[in-house]
Amino acid sequence: VLHGSYLDSTSRRGFRYSRAVLVERDVFLGELRAFARAKEAAGYSREELQETFGFLLFDKEEEAQEVCRTGLRVNSSSISTL
């Protein structure tokens, strides 16, 4: 999934990853499920609610660990690309 998820195919040559970590936290998954239930009740289709992956590239492992602990919220980060 990681190597096939470039917005631009020419980006493939510009990145080298040392490792990828899948983060699943029960509290965040619970929030996601509640959000999806509310959107489904509001009439969103299954296609619109389909889960996808998001990838963040960090310069320092400590930055990644902080996001894993606290989660990612709208307008709460200086991260501008996902």
Average pLDDT over residues 10-35: 81
Is residue 75 pLDDT above 60, yes or no? Answer: yes
Confidence label for 34 from pLDDT (cuts 50, 70 and 90): very high
Instruction: Work out the pLDDT band at 27, boundaries 50, 70, 90.
Output: confident
Alpha carbon of residue 14 to chain centroid? 20
Q: What spatial distance separates the first Cα and last Cα of the chain, rounded to whole Å?
A: 14
pTM: 0.55
**Local structure of residue 11 (DSSP, 8 states):** G
Rounded CA-CA distance 36/32 in Å is 6
What average pLDDT does this structure show over 9-38?
A: 82
